[in-house]
Amino acid sequence: MGIAERKLRQKGEVKASILQAAWELVQREGWQSLSIRKIADAIEYSAPVIYDHFANKEAIMLEFTKRGFQQLNEQLIKAKVQFTNPEQQIEAIAYAYWKFAFDNKEYYQLMYGLGMPGCETVKQIPEMASFAEIIFSTIKEILAKNKNTSADPHLKLNTFWSTLHGLISINMLGKNESRDELNAMVLKDFLIGFISGIKG
Amino acid sequence: MGIAERKLRQKGEVKASILQAAWELVQREGWQSLSIRKIADAIEYSAPVIYDHFANKEAIMLEFTKRGFQQLNEQLIKAKVQFTNPEQQIEAIAYAYWKFAFDNKEYYQLMYGLGMPGCETVKQIPEMASFAEIIFSTIKEILAKNKNTSADPHLKLNTFWSTLHGLISINMLGKNESRDELNAMVLKDFLIGFISGIKG
DNA sequence: TATAATTTCTAACAGCGTTAGCAAATGTAG
DNA sequence: CTACATTTGCTAACGCTGTTAGAAATTATA
């Protein structure tokens, strides 16, 4: 009797439609105006149904945060494997990270900013660990290749990630002027210093 | 007739008490749970009275954002004038910025993160311009002193600010483990690279 | 077909920012 | 000191929000 299976499938479909509707709403009106009732309207169910699939609104957001990191990770790996030279790899990763942030502004805003996730949230996202690992391993390769034992890879990971995030978030709260040239230069400026510094 | 004056003074006192009550609430429960009604309760007035002093809730937040930048500017200037050497000045500024962010977490979260202020908000805060100017002038002095004409001070300002902000915000979404040593090292790591890079 | 289980709904609670309109207090002028 | 005008603060309400309780309707099982 495939009844149970069909029910599970149908339940999954509703869950998927919730996420899809939520995503469309976010793209149209931003995170701030996303509401359970609007999602319910969009999927043509009543609001409480959503709580059969997600514990609360935050769980929906968390799901998107996870997806955001998954997609980011994909992009970073795709960028990395184009090169064998770790210096080129870290540069490609930086550009991919940058591109992801501005191509997926909604994701990026949710993943970081937006109400400062806080400790609890971070722990619920294993994808963040994979993300860190991608960069960490590349940095270690550079250090190994250049026989630089004095630099701490944890330190360099932190500097790399922080700087990138800082560049992006400062830029996002500015306006949409065509500061693209400046942005590109700032990114390059940082990368030159970072890579030369990491070589020891 | 000092009646009008007294009224103005009283009005000012209520306004001040609104801000004070709001600030206490924020420190106790965070920005997320700040509400007009709670402020009204705290100052022992009804909620609509607040709208005689502020256009809306956002205006209250904006006031705090301004104050945050004012205080930050004070700290940065205080740090800067302790030295005459611009390299030492920029280092002192970086540490002061860092210290401000963690000593005044609530302010810093409001000034940046929290719902991504957006273009409109930024324009309403002239204090941000003064802030940028403090750092900008110091960078220009370093460039002048070292006769470095190739580096763009705008670029360096952007890199400096972004990196600092990135370091802080990444740290803030992590936990409160005693990562102070790591933090100090990351900051130093950045500063060494930045100052050497700026010298040309 | 009758009973059990699941699904989905309506209604409600408690809170939010904000506004309209009335009541009370205060100021001004005769 | 009274009469009018102005300002001040309130209550009540609107339209939202996330979330939950409990009834109704649907579906599965015996």
CB contact under 8 A, A158 and B116: no
Q: What per-residue confidence (pLDDT) applies to A174?
A: 64
Interface probe, candidates B69, B106, B131, B165, chain A, greatest A C-beta count within 10 A: B165
CB contact under 8 A, B170 and A174: no
The percent of residues above 90 in pLDDT, for chain A, comes to 56
Whether the CB-CB separation of B68 and B107 falls below 8 Å is answered with yes
A186 CB neighbours in chain B (<8 A) are 155, 158-159, 162
B152 CB neighbours in chain A (<8 A) are 185
> Shortest CB distance from B155 goes to which of A164, A171, A189?
A189
Q: How far apart are CA B59 and CA A84, in angstroms?
A: 53
pLDDT at A57 over 90: yes
A129 compared with A117, residue with greater pLDDT: A129
Q: What is the DSSP string of chain A?
A: -THHHHHHHHHHHHHHHHHHHHHHHHHHH-GGG--HHHHHHHHTS-GGGGGGT-SSHHHHHHHHHHHHHHHHHHHHHHHHTT-SSHHHHHHHHHHHHHHHHHHTHHHHHHHSSTT--HHHHHHT-THHHHHHHHHHHHHHHHHHHTT--SS-HHHHHHHHHHHHHHHHHHHHHS--SS-HHHHHHHHHHHHHHHHHHHH-
Plot region of B126 (φ>0 → left; ψ -120 to 50 → alpha; else → beta) = alpha
CB contact under 8 A, A159 and B169: no
CB contact under 8 A, B186 and A112: no
Q: How far apart are CA A91 and CA A104, in angstroms?
A: 20
Taking residues B88-94, report their average pLDDT.
Answer: 95
A129 touches chain B (CB under 8 A): no
CA distance A168 to chain B (A): 8
Q: How far apart are CA A33 and CA A26, in angstroms?
A: 8
Task: List pLDDT tens digits, range A59-96.
Answer: 999 999 999 999 999 999 999 999 999 999 999 999 99
Q: What per-residue confidence (pLDDT) applies to A116?
A: 44
Say which range, A9-23, A86-100, B34-48, B115-129, has the weakest mean pLDDT: B115-129
Q: How far apart are CA B108 and CA B102, in angstroms?
A: 8
Stated in angstroms, how far is A48 CA from C13 C1'? 14
